[in-house]
Every structure is written in structure tokens, then in C-alpha cells.
Amino acid sequence: MSDDPKSAGSSRAEFFMISVAAQLAGMHAQTLRTYDRLGLVTPQRTSGGGRRYSARDVELLREVQRLSQDEGVNLAGIKRIIELTNQVEALQQRVDEMSAELERLRAGYRPDLSPPQRSTALVVWQPRHRR
């Protein structure tokens, strides 16, 4: 197995300390701290409180930089974009889960076990005649 963090065969998640994440994102470490304080990118923490950035966090840092520098979006706008993107991803995941559940239900559907159809026929009640 390769030691390359980008290796597709890697079975463990790769995390980077702040200096490495800053270098990978092309930013200063203080910028990462600021983004963490603002809630733009929230890295995991070690038991000692040190920040540990995932590859996904580094990609998000790059996107924050792109939105800020190339698109001219302010940090409040970027935070809202990130929140909405996360919300869309969560909703899409829920749709996928519900679609899979529907397919499981359809696969197990048996017409012979379905409840009988309700009749709309009118039935007139008449009392029995006493003998």
C-alpha cells in the first residue's frame, strides 16, 4: 500500500496539522485560524486542542479562497454559501436514502398480499324478520 495520502487504496483517513494544511491550501496558518473562528472551515481537534485538517477541509479552504479572490464574495457570503451547500448535500443524501427504501419496498411488493380494495357499493340494511 502506498504512503501517498492521495492513494485510492488508503484505508485510513489522512489529517494534516495546520502548517501542512495551510501550505496545501496556499494560505497562511493564521488565515486558517481566522476561518476556524468564523466557522467557515471547522477542523477536527486533538485531545490537546490542536487543529487537524482533513483532505476535504483543505479542498474547502481552496474553495473559500477562490470565492473570495476570484469571485469577490465576502466572508459572510462565503459562510452562507457553505451552509447552503451542506444543506443541499444533506437533503440529497436523504432523497437517495428514501429512493433506496422505496426500491426495497417495491422489490418486496406482492399484489396477492395487498389489502383488498374498498368497495364504494351502497348496501341497504334491512332488519331480519322474527319467526
The whole domain housing 86 covers 15-108
**CA–CA separation, 66 and 26 (whole Å):** 11
**CA–CA separation, 2 and 47 (whole Å):** 28
24-68, pLDDT tens digit by residue? 999 999 999 999 999 999 999 999 999 999 999 999 999 999 999
List the CATH number of the domain containing 75.
1.10.1660.10
Selection from 4, 50, 2, 60 nearest residue 27 by Cα: 60
Within a domain: 32 = yes
Give pTM, 2 decimals.
0.66
- Total domain count, the chain: 1
Within a domain: 114 = no
